[in-house]
A and B are shown apart, each in its own frame.
Chain A
Amino acid sequence: MALLALLLIPLLTAMVLLVATPTRYARGIALFSSLVSLALTLWLWSNYQGIPVQALDVEWATAWGLRFTLGYDGVGLLMLLLTALVYPFIIGAGYGERLQHPSMTNALLLFTQSFVMGVFTAQNLLLFYIFYELALLPVFFLLLYWGGERRRAITVRFFMYTLLGGLSLLFGAVYCLVQVEGFNGDLSALATLDLPYDTQVWLFWVLFLAFAIKLPIFPFHGWQPDTYTTAPVQGTMVLSAVMLKMGLYGTMRIVFPAVPLGVEHWRDTVIVLSLVGAIYAAVIAFRQSDLRRLIAYSSLSHVGVLCAGLFTCNRLGMTGSLYQAFAHAVLAIGMLYISGALKERVGSSEMAAMGGLKARVPRLAVLFMLVLVNAIGLPFTQSFVGEWLMFAGLWQVSTWLSLAAVSTIVLGAIYMLYAYQRVMLGTDKWEIEMSDVSLRDHLVLVPLVTLTFVLGVHPRPILDLVEGPVQVLLTSFPSLN
């Protein structure tokens, strides 16, 4: 029941916001709803025993393989936790944006939350697909209404890209449902599909395409930089902190169990593609002059490593990838928030126009640095744990791949510090008075930074959470381990 509540709280709040449009209190209501969700998720976590939970199982249209089945295991719980945790920050970030129609924005954000939670809890293949597509719709409107320049074209491109993946996934799902006798769409039954090798080889791409686009990995990333830059800050936060993880989760939950032989067949290809994308994005990030665009490309670079780690198909790599997914969410929110805060003060996110801000906003500069060290993956930060695990996993696959992955860290340090230099350091050329960190900035950034360091020093809780599911997944690849 708690799971259903987790889906319904944001959904109903969003509907109330849409209908009643309480312009002044919209943010407060949304924030309250997201905090309730967070509390509920933490409660679920404290009650989690390490065994997968099946919470709800209702008939829907069983005749064609659709049941309303909700549940979660360690990975699902991690994703729920991540979503619930970042949402208050996302909504809180909205206090700075002077957007029209706050009730509508917050309603759309909460709709997304509800559907994303649906994705992470659905235990039926079709139900998963339905939530997966639904999560796209509110973001579409968020972009269309509150995006920046050229948003009309970019919005549609984003929509079409994602839908291409979605339909491909649907085709794969239908294929499995029809071809495999006795398969009822239950996710836990995916591991018993036992499709022939040749089928798995092509079905892998049919299923994986959706997630490859969602993540996105090279060369399916065409929609990402523009969308991240154009979307309002909150939209980008949702996309990079939460929806990106849908790709990771889907790969792990659907592609790995359903077509293990296909995964083995394409493993090296995907790892190489991911790493090529990661390095390529890092190089492009260095060349960016717009802070938001730089963040977009750095996200692309991080995701490449994330995906490579997942596809190592060994314990270290997969654990690291999941851990890093969590770290990346915290990181993305922090980075995007700072870019928003800077834009608020300077009026643009062009880095060339900034410089010397450290003298004006010294505290913000410190917080920026603290967020940045997480992005670079210095020791005692979350990213350090995740990335170290992933590199170790990649090392087991191939030394060269691991080296390639490590090089993204070096590149990351270069472009991040270069960005810091361009924004904060240099001569102070600012005539105008600007306020340093406000209470709101503190409320968002300090918890995020604290979280980064606490989980960086003490990663056990998260690692424990994913250990069980990773062990189960490993049994899908007996020949690789």
Chain B
Amino acid sequence: MSALVLLSVLGVLLLYAGLFGKRTLLAPLGIIGLLATMVVIRSGWMMNVPLVGAMVRFDHFGSVFGQALTLITVLLFIFGIDYYSRVRENVAEQYALIIFSLVGAVLLISYSNLLVLFLGIEILSIPLYILAGGKRDSFRSGEAAFKYFLQGSFASGFFLMGIALLYGSTASLDLATVQASAASASGSAHMLYLLGLFFTIAGLAFKVAAVPFHFWSPDVYEGSPTLVTAYMSTVVKTAAFAAFHRLIAGMELPGAIQTMLVVMTLLTLFLGNIVALRQTQFKRLLAYSGIAHSGFLLLTFLGSDPGAPGVLFYYSITYSLATMGLFVVLTLAKRSANGDENIRIFRGLYRSSPWLAIVTMLLLLSLAGIPLTAGFVAKYQVFLLGIEGGYILTTAFAVAMALVGVYYYVLVIREAFTPREQAPELVVSRLNWLVISFCGLAVVVLGLVPELLRF
């Protein structure tokens, strides 16, 4: 709760700082505020206390995810210092909107009432609609914002419909009550319940970009400013998955919903990986790789293992760290290539800046799931969960798709390590170097010592 208040105040403060023209203060202020939020969450103050009429409850799950999300946002802000140094207008607003969106994310990881879940999604998304259109003179950015807004509203409609149906069948919006009545509902009430759950999950699937609710993701990722894309594919995705988990964890899922999840997982794995093979634009590639990783994350929902939230946490955070680093590298490479996003821009990277190339390689290897990186540990745990839950064929399919996934990451590594006469000259500011190195080291260290990211 205190985190929510703190973040909201921080957002307002950032707006004021912008109003008084203190541009250089923005990012440091934001970072200090975020770190303070992290400390507050970590201290465990008012943990496990039902708040706001028992609609929000900060438990262990929320606390762990909350810390990780704020940490990733801190990285994003450090990245933002350099990223926004060339932008003249509305920088404060963009920072503030990210913070406001983070408030929604915090709600998503701590809700215990379906209405708060809806509120969380809306608070998370509405700033994003604006942020996606952040480059006001860019046609693609506008297109991204508009697409995101339309499809997002559509998903919200779905979602509300689902909540209404659930309310109709259980006469309650309380999460625990709704979950408990999965077994008891019968007859037409059961039908309502199923439909309600179906629509709710569809709404969430939209947010995590699971097939067939993924259509917005490549276009929006590509059109949005890179910093916003980085935010969407890390914090937003993680928060949405956490919300998803809270919704269905610990409940006896009806058979039909179980089937729906399996089908969604298979489709997401398949489409994300296969379509990614055809991508030549790096940003789009990352969008499809994001969809593919959603597939692996969905696998954690299939069984009912008590270790599932830990795996979800580990996977989503390590994925976020790797993706964040790659977006920073992309920004730098894109700058030196005058806005080109083709993966060719990485060619010769090893010649011009070896360290950057090595880190890029590590990040990509982590996404690909090669041993000794965090990505391997994450995938391995997902496979363990899948087989433990009895989904042997689904897991086998996921393993096959992991192989496909390796291919498109390796293509990028190949580019970075192919020599070229005129190697790209990358200008790396010290802070960006810090972010990239942090992400690169993190995926290796977390891969070697997975216990560091204990749930």
Q: Tell me the A residues contacting B by CB distance below 8 Å.
A: 61, 64, 126, 129-130, 133-134, 137, 140-141, 144-145, 152, 155-156, 159-160, 163-164, 167-168, 170-171, 174-175, 177-179
Contacts and interface: CB of A to CB of B under 8 A. Distances in A.
B402 interface: yes
Contacts of B365: 137
Interface stretch (B268-276, B316-324, B407-415): B407-415
B441 to A, nearest CB: 15
A130 B371 contact: yes
Contact of B380 (A64, A145, A156, A160): A64
Given A134-B372, A160-B407, A160-B410, 14 more contacts: A129-B371, A133-B370, A141-B417, A144-B414, A152-B418, A159-B410, A163-B406, A164-B403, A167-B403, A170-B380, A174-B380, A175-B387, A178-B384, A179-B387
List the 6 closest pairs (A to B, CB-CB), nearest first. Answer: A130-B371, A178-B387, A171-B399, A133-B371, A174-B383, A167-B403
B388 interface: yes
B137 interface: no
B54 interface: no
A170 B406 contact: no
B396 interface: yes
A268 to B, nearest CB: 26
B250 interface: no
Contacts of A61: 377, 450-451
A167 B399 contact: yes
Contacts of A167: 399-400, 402-403
B395 A171 contact: yes
Contacts, number: 64
Nearest to A132: B371
A152 B372 CA distance: 25
Nearest to A127: B371
Majority-rule SS of A interface residues: helix
A156 B399 contact: no
Given A129-B371, A152-B414, A177-B384, A160 B395 contact: no
A258 B395 CA distance: 21
B392 interface: yes
Nearest to A175: B387
B381 interface: yes
Question: Which of A160, A163, A174, A175 is most buried by chain B, counting CB atoms within 10 A of its CB?
Answer: A174
Interface string B361-395: 00001000011100011001101100110001001
A433 B212 CA distance: 70
Contacts of A177: 384
A170 B407 contact: no
A178 B388 contact: yes
B302 to A, nearest CB: 14
Contact of B407 (A155, A156, A175): A156
A148 to B, nearest CB: 14
Nearest to A153: B414
Nearest to B381: A64
A134 B403 contact: no
Contact of B384 (A64, A129, A144, A163): A64
B419 interface: yes
Interface string B412-455: 00100111000000000000000000000000000000110000
Contacts of B399: 167-168, 170-171
Contacts of A163: 403, 406
B344 to A, nearest CB: 12
A1 B411 CA distance: 39
Given A171-B395, A174-B380, A156 B371 contact: no
Contacts of B372: 130, 134
B396 A171 contact: yes
B379 to A, nearest CB: 9
A163 B419 CA distance: 24
B387 A156 contact: no
24 contacts: A61-B377, A61-B451, A64-B380, A129-B371, A130-B371, A130-B376, A137-B370, A144-B417, A145-B417, A152-B414, A152-B418, A156-B410, A156-B414, A159-B406, A160-B407, A167-B403, A171-B395, A171-B396, A171-B399, A174-B380, A174-B383, A174-B395, A175-B387, A178-B387
Question: Which of B403, B407, B419 is most buried by chain A, counting CB atoms within 10 A of its CB?
Answer: B403
A163 B376 CA distance: 13
Interface in B336-374: 365, 370-372
